[in-house]
């Protein structure tokens, strides 16, 4: 999953960034797409946004059938409990694979590159387009409403704070 995300999302997003700002240094390119320090004054806003995103995500999953507790497929909890069975997957690997790397890669690609490059003239259109592209990336019809809602909230967080770190 790590290599796939890097090849599918991060590499093209990075190439786009380098080609879009050829004269800029790497630090200037990162600042241009929104990777900058998050100011402490946004902490309450981000806590509220995260709570709202999780609540919205859960509700939309229930409404559109994305949550299926009877499924026998892979679950994060099942992977963490894998040590109780015959094999074990390390927790740091799971955290990196399913939390840290996707947070960086997806936000860099969808909010940092796609949203920022579209947000010039019409920021509302950019918000919708980048959120829909983000939702389609999951290849699951049941997750599309949830992913669009979360994408809109993450774009709103980026627009409010000015920092891509808030989305990550």
Supply the DSSP symbol for 38: P
Rounded to two decimals, what is the model's pTM?
Answer: 0.75
Percent of the chain with pLDDT over 90: 5
**Angle (nearest 5°) at CA 11 between 166 and 167:** 10
Task: Choose the weakest-confidence range: 14-23, 107-116, 129-138, 149-158.
Answer: 14-23
> Would the pLDDT of 127 be above 50?
yes
* Mean pLDDT along residues 86-97: 68
* Mean pLDDT along residues 115-133: 84
Burial bucket for residue 62 (CB in 10 Å: 0-12, 13-18, 19+) = exposed
Report pLDDT digits (tens) over 140-159.
Answer: 787 888 889 989 999 989 88
Q: What is the pLDDT of residue 9?
A: 82
């Amino acid at each position: 999953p790590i290599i796939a995300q890097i090849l599918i999302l991060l590499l093209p997003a990075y190439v786009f960034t380098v080609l879009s700002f050829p004269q800029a240094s790497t630090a200037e390119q990162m600042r241009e797409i929104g990777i900058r320090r998050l100011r402490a004054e946004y902490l309450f806003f981000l806590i509220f946004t995260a709570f709202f995103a999780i609540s919205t995500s859960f509700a939309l999953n229930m409404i559109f059938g994305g949550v299926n507790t009877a499924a026998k497929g892979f679950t994060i909890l099942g992977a963490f409990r894998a040590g109780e069975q015959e094999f074990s997957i390390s927790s740091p690997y799971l955290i990196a694979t399913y939390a840290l790397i996707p947070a960086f890669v997806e936000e860099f690609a969808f909010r940092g590159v796609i949203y920022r490059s579209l947000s010039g003239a019409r920021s509302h259109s950019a918000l919708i387009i980048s959120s829909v592209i983000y939702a389609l990336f999951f290849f699951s019809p049941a997750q599309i409403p949830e992913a669009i809602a979360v994408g809109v909230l993450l774009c709103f967080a980026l627009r409010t704070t000015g920092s891509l770190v808030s989305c990550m």
